[in-house]
Amino acid sequence: MPFAPDGVYWDHMCGPGPDGHWHGFFVVHVRADALRPLGLHPARPTSRVVGPSPPGWWHAAAERRAAARR
């Protein structure tokens, strides 16, 4: 995985909206220093790909981990 387990976390907020229906929101947090290996840092005005795309198994593993947390 491109991020260490402590490099990314998320919050889930939910509650009734003004219309009475429940709404949920996810906020994803990524530590700034976790982005540096990907070439994203304050000195770079735009982002560009600095390496190859993750292999196909990486996406499948991420989906399995997300499903296991439910």
Question: Which tens digit of pLDDT belongs to each residue from 15-61?
Answer: 998 999 999 989 988 888 888 877 777 676 665 676 788 888 888 88
66 pLDDT higher than 70 = yes
Q: Letter for the amino acid at 68?
A: A
Number of compact structural domains in the chain: 1
pLDDT, residue 16, reads 92
56 is in which domain, residue-wise?
Answer: 8-69
Please check whether residue 35 lies inside any domain of the structure: yes
Q: Domain for residue 16, yes or no?
A: yes
Average pLDDT over residues 1-11: 81
| CA quadruple 57, 37, 8, 21: dihedral sign | negative
40 or 64, higher pLDDT: 64
Q: What is the DSSP string of 29-63?
A: EE-HHHHGGGT--TT-SS----SPPPPHHHHHHHH
